[in-house]
Amino acid sequence: AGLQAGRIQMKRYITSEQSPQTIEAVLQRPSQKSGEQIMGIVRPIIDAVKSRGDAALLEYTQKFDKATSLSSPVLHAPFHPSLMQLPPETIKAIDISFENIRKFHAAQKEDKPLSVETMPGVVCSRFSRAIERVGLYVPGGTAVLPSTAMMLGVPAMVAGCKKIVIASPPRPDGSITPEIVYVAHKVGAESILLAGGAQAVAALAYGTESVSKVDKILGPGNQFVTAAKMFVSNDTSAGVSIDMPAGPSEVLVIADASANPAFVASDLLSQAEHGVDSQVILIAVDLTQGQLGAIEDELHAQANALPRVDIVRGAIEHSVTLVVKDIVEAMRLSNLYAPEHLILQVQNAEGVVALVENAGSVFIGEWTPESVGDYSAGVNHSLPTYGYAKQYSGVNLGSYIKHITSSQLTLEGLRNVGGAVMQLAKVEELEAHRRAVGIRLGELYY
């Protein structure tokens, strides 16, 4: 009711007037194309790149990215300075952001291996090693995303990955955005793969004549990229892992009467402009009709002043406002939704963090727009979407690292723990296991 023609406004629900089932249904993500349908498109592409290598890769790049002049799909480091010519203000912005991201991810390093003496003479340790070869997917599409190249590349560099390959679809003239080349140069990437989509994922997973195979593929992408990542990570012949399944971007903003309506609207819009499939949710805590109206008016006015207003309109169509009674209810619904980004524009926002159970990244208080995390604060913007914040972390230093454990016993240690080992081996009827301990403790078996 009261919707003007063309008014950009999210559907409003007052939770106390709805059944819990309705609210739960409202918080469902918009449904995606069926996995089978997507896989039907992606499968032949993967097979072609796997069997025909570079030739197939170049054909798809011509077809999908219109880059007809490309003769090699790979650009090797060192990258020619002419490929990364940028205005000084852009260089400065990248350098500042890069350094913040580097600092935050460097702080995630473990200072020393973990070591515990579980029994006298029984020492268990754990140490980490970088994944040797990583492929970082930087989407093309409606925006150039050098920030994503940083979010994936900087932790790879900090972790000490030996080979970093950045994949990104080329422009029709066969070139790659200079910002991405500059970031590739700064993180010490070995090469840039000039390809996108499922074909890029296949090339990274299996390798081609000119593309080197990697051990792990990270980075966001459309449904085809995600399906291809899922497929190759399940193919034992590829021997490759992935970061996490990716879906459209989303944000959930919790605002109370202390929030500035203009700020709230600007945060909702900054996520809505990513794509028509993005979803933004506003949880209004005990707002009066007037306060909520002020946010809605701001949203409409600010949206109409945006260059990407058409994309915003699409996203807002499947976005909602929930009016709730208090912050506890707000956090309960937020944890149920498990947003990629959670923005807290409420009184004592810092205190509310204790109630966060499921979220990719949290933005605390009115001076913390999500944009700062998208680009420059230092936190990673490659985050779990589509409710996967319930079980996945966002990209972090650990995403580029494996842990290896070790044990070391003395004779005394073996005497202490040996009895338990021998008894359990007996229960499992694995006699050779039992004897490997027994022979050391002086038992003779032949």
Per CB under 5 A, residues contacting Zn ion are 374
Q: Determine if 222 is a binding residue for ligand HSO (CB under 6 A).
A: no
Are 123 and 416 in contact by the 8 Å Cβ rule? The answer is no
Query: Which is the catalytic residue, given 179, 296, 340, 366?
Result: 340
Give me the residues paired with residue 13 across strands: 322
Q: Which of 340, 345, 346, 352 binds ligand HSO (CB under 6 A)?
A: 340
State which residue, 163 or 381, has the beta carbon closest to ligand HSO.
381
Q: Which stretch binds ligand HSO (CB under 6 A): 143-151, 202-210, 280-288, 308-316?
A: 143-151
Cα gap 93→103, rounded to integer Å: 16
Residue 341 among the catalytic residues: yes
State which residue, 124 or 372, has the beta carbon closest to Zn ion.
372
Q: Determine if 226 is a binding residue for ligand HSO (CB under 6 A).
A: no
State which residue, 110 or 310, has the beta carbon closest to ligand HSO.
310
State which residue, 23 or 395, has the beta carbon closest to ligand HSO.
395
26 three-class SS: helix
Q: Determine if 179 is a binding residue for ligand HSO (CB under 6 A).
A: no
Per CB under 6 A, contacts with ligand HSO among 145-164 are 145, 147-148
Cα gap 127→55, rounded to integer Å: 42
Q: Which of 249, 302, 334, 399 binds ligand HSO (CB under 6 A)?
A: 249
Query: Which is the catalytic residue, given 341, 366, 370, 381?
Result: 341
Residues 6+ apart with CB under 8 A from 167: 135, 136, 137, 138, 192, 193, 195, 196, 200, 201, 203, 204, 219
- CB burial of 57-89 (b: ≥16 within 10 Å; e: otherwise) equals bbebbeebbebeebeebbbeeebeeebbebeee
Cα radius of gyration (the chain):
26
Residue 357 among the catalytic residues: no
Per CB under 6 A, contacts with ligand HSO among 355-374 are 374
Residue 282 gets which letter from DSSP? E
Are 29 and 247 in contact by the 8 Å Cβ rule? The answer is yes
Q: How many residues bind ligand HSO (CB under 6 A)?
A: 7
Q: Determine if 381 is a binding residue for ligand HSO (CB under 6 A).
A: yes
Please identify every residue annotated as catalytic: 340-341
User: Where on the chain is the footprint of ligand HSO (CB under 6 A)?
Assistant: 145, 147-148, 249, 340, 374, 381
